[in-house]
A = this chain, B = another copy of it.
Amino acid sequence: MSSTYGENLKLSIFGQSHGAAIGMTLDGIPAGLPVDPEKLQAFLNRRAPGQNDWSTPRREEDRPEFLSGILDGFTCGAPIAAIIYNKNTRSGDYDNLKDCPRPGHADYTAQIKYGGFQDSAGGGHFSGRLTAPLCMAGGLCKQWLEEMGIFMGAHILSIAGRRDQAFDPIHPQLSQVSPDFPVLDLSAGEAMRQAIDQARKSGDSVGGVIECAVVGLPPGIGEPMFGGVESRIAQIVYGIPAVKGVEFGAGFGASDLRGSQCNDPFTLEDGIVKTTTNHSGGILGGITNGMALLFRAAVKPTPSISAPQQSVSLSAQEITSLSVKGRHDPCIVPRAVPVVEAAAAIAIMDMILGNTQTDRRKMNHGLK
């Protein structure tokens, strides 16, 4: 496993779905940054299961216990560690996954890689439950970015082809994302819920696309070639289970544009350089340009479905039919929205900490 991330901050995520606890350590964070536990809890609740009819009925309070790194409401410079004990006992639901792997899951590849020693209960370390510690770290980073005037938000751009309005690429409407179901257009959200409901009723699942925007980023963040903003964000976002695509700005759509359409013309606003369009997604040459950072992540449909599927028995060496038992979200996209934000917050915090070019004020007003 390589469940560690970061060049300057060092994030390490641990735990298995049905193990004793899940958690994270976050090293390299400066001392003196404020921590608001209630704000963090509110953020974690957006990811937590069991809140709505469209998510798994498994209900588990994701309340982190901080073990180190925070003192009297501020970071103390020491590594931060936080855990959540798992309350669900190890069930027998997953007994035969090592022999008969679920299509679309990591059961087979884990069996090959870890030779049968892997913890397969609930997907083990591959479970979506491991996004909870990612959200602990990301929720903290998000708070610290807000202290610097950097704000981020994400919404569901589509589920099963039902499409929400996209963010305005110049002025993303972060505050207009519905708190209940994270879309901009409530009627689109209603259509998505219906699609989820239909999938559940037929023992099936659906996927979708999440769009994320970050505003307030100073220009000059990112370390090309391989530490550019796209590289660093894509690396961590692909660490979220089920993500199969990541694009920035116009993304795949840019491939159909002409240069004269895709290039963002420069302009000046109150002496600050801006662009009149934002096909670059706020990134030129891997470095932020001061416009809104925009990216989208494609989430495949939940692989766990109750409808029968073709699998194989590794021991018997024969083809079998498999119906996945247990409680599963027919669509994980709504709960993945804060996870995408968390991943981006971690990557951005890491890049800001790694910025060794003089000081940030210079970057802000640095034209001359």
Contact = CB atoms under 8 A, between A and B. Distances in A.
Given A259-B104, A260-B305, A359-B359, A231 B225 contact: no
Contact of A224 (B2, B30, B76, B158): B2
A340 to B, nearest CB: 13
Contacts of A273: 108, 312, 314
A216 interface: no
Contacts of A3: 27, 78-79, 224-226
Between A1, A8, A69, A304, the greatest number of chain B beta carbons within 10 A of the residue's beta carbon is seen for A1
Number of copies of this protein chain within its complex: 4
Contacts of A296: 252
Between A110, A262, A310, the greatest number of chain B beta carbons within 10 A of the residue's beta carbon is seen for A262
A186 interface: no
A317 B78 contact: no
- Which 4 residue pairs across A and B have the least CB separation, nearest first? A106-B285, A2-B227, A245-B247, A205-B259
B109 A289 contact: yes
A263 B244 CA distance: 13
Nearest to A162: B256
Contacts of A65: 20
A113 B290 CA distance: 12
19 contacts: A2-B227, A3-B27, A14-B78, A16-B71, A20-B65, A32-B115, A76-B114, A77-B118, A77-B125, A112-B219, A199-B258, A205-B259, A231-B239, A234-B234, A244-B280, A245-B252, A255-B300, A262-B301, A271-B317
Contact of A76 (B16, B263, B268): B16
Given A15-B81, A273-B312, A314-B368, 12 more contacts: A1-B223, A3-B225, A76-B118, A101-B266, A104-B280, A105-B285, A158-B255, A245-B245, A245-B254, A254-B301, A262-B301, A315-B368
Contacts of A223: 1-2, 28
A244 B248 CA distance: 5
Nearest to A109: B287
A1 B15 contact: no
B301 A259 contact: yes
Interface in A128-164: 130, 158-161
Contacts of A315: 368
A1 B245 contact: no
B289 A108 contact: yes
A13 interface: yes
A290 B309 CA distance: 20
B226 A281 contact: no
B106 A287 contact: yes
Contacts of A289: 108-109, 112
B80 A14 contact: yes
